Structure 1
Amino acid sequence: MSRNKRVNVMVREKFTHIYARAAERKGGEAGLESLLAIPLDAEQLRAIPDHRWLAAFSQKVFQSGMSWKVVRNKWPGFEQVFFDFDIEKMLLMPTEMWERKATDPTIIRHLGKVMTIPANAQMIHEAAVEHGSFAAMVADWPGDDIVGLWRHLKKHGKRLGGNTGPYTLRVMGKDTFILSQDVESYLRNIGIIDGGRDTQRSLQAAQSAFSDWQQESGRPLCQISQIIAFSCGDNRI
Structure 2
Amino acid sequence: MKRCGWVNEHNPLYVAYHDEEWGRPVKEDQRLFELLCLESYQAGLSWETVLNKRSAFRQAFDDYDVSKVAQMADSELENLLANPAIIRHRAKIFATRQNAQAFLKVQQEYGTFASYLWSWVNFTPIDNLVKNYREVPSKTPLSVQLSKDLKKRGFTFVGPVCVYSYLQAAGLVNDHEVGCFCKGDSHE
Could you state the TM-score of these two structures normalised by the residue count of structure 1?
Answer: 0.52
Q: Aligned to 2:88, what secondary structure does the other structure show?
A: coil
Larger Rg computed on CA atoms: 1
Q: What are the within-5 Å matches in structure 2 for residues 20-59 of structure 1?
A: 45=26, 47-48=27-28, 50-59=29-38
Which AA in structure 2 matches 1:133?
T
Aligned ranges 1:49-198 → 2 under 5 Å? 50-142=29-121, 146-147=142-143, 148-156=145-153, 157-175=155-173
Partners of 1:83 and 1:56 in 2: CA distance: 14
Greater displacement, 146-155 / 115-124? 146-155
Deviation of residue 76 (structure 1)? 0.5
Question: 2: distance between equivalents of 1:106 and 1:39?
Answer: 27
| Cα separation, 1, equivalents of 2:49 and 2:90 | 17
1:131-179 CA distances to partner (integer Å, 9 max, x unpaired)?
111011112224598353232123331010130012111110113xxxx
Deviation at 1:100, TM superposition (A): 0.8
Cα 1:70–1:128 change in 2 (3 A) is same
Aligned mates of 1:174, 1:142 — CA distance in 2: 7
Name the structure where helix makes up a greater proportion of residues.
1
Match of 1:66, SS state, is coil
Can you give the 5+ residue segments of structure 2 that lack an aligned partner in the other structure? 1-21, 127-140, 179-188
Q: Which amino acid aligns with 2:54?
A: W
What is the letter of the counterpart of residue 152 of structure 1? Answer: D
- How has the CA–CA distance of structure 1 residues 160 and 126 changed in structure 2, closer, same or farther, with 3 Å as cutoff? same
- 2: CA distance, partners of 1:106 / 1:83: 15
Number of matched pairs: 139
Cα distance in 1 for partners of 2:121, 2:45 equals 32
Q: Kindly provide the amino acid, as one letter, of the partner of residue 153 in structure 1.
A: L
How far did 1:39 drift?
Answer: 6.0
**Secondary structure of the residue that 1:163 maps to in structure 2?**
helix
* C-alpha RMSD over aligned residues: 2.7
Residues 100 and 80 from structure 1, CA distance in 2 versus in 1: closer, same or farther, beyond 3 angstroms?
Answer: same
Displacement of 1:82 after TM fit? 0.7
In 1: Cα distance, 2:38 partner to 2:101 partner: 17
Moved segments of 4+, more than 6 Å: none
User: Which amino acid counterpart does residue 128 of structure 1 have in structure 2?
Assistant: Q
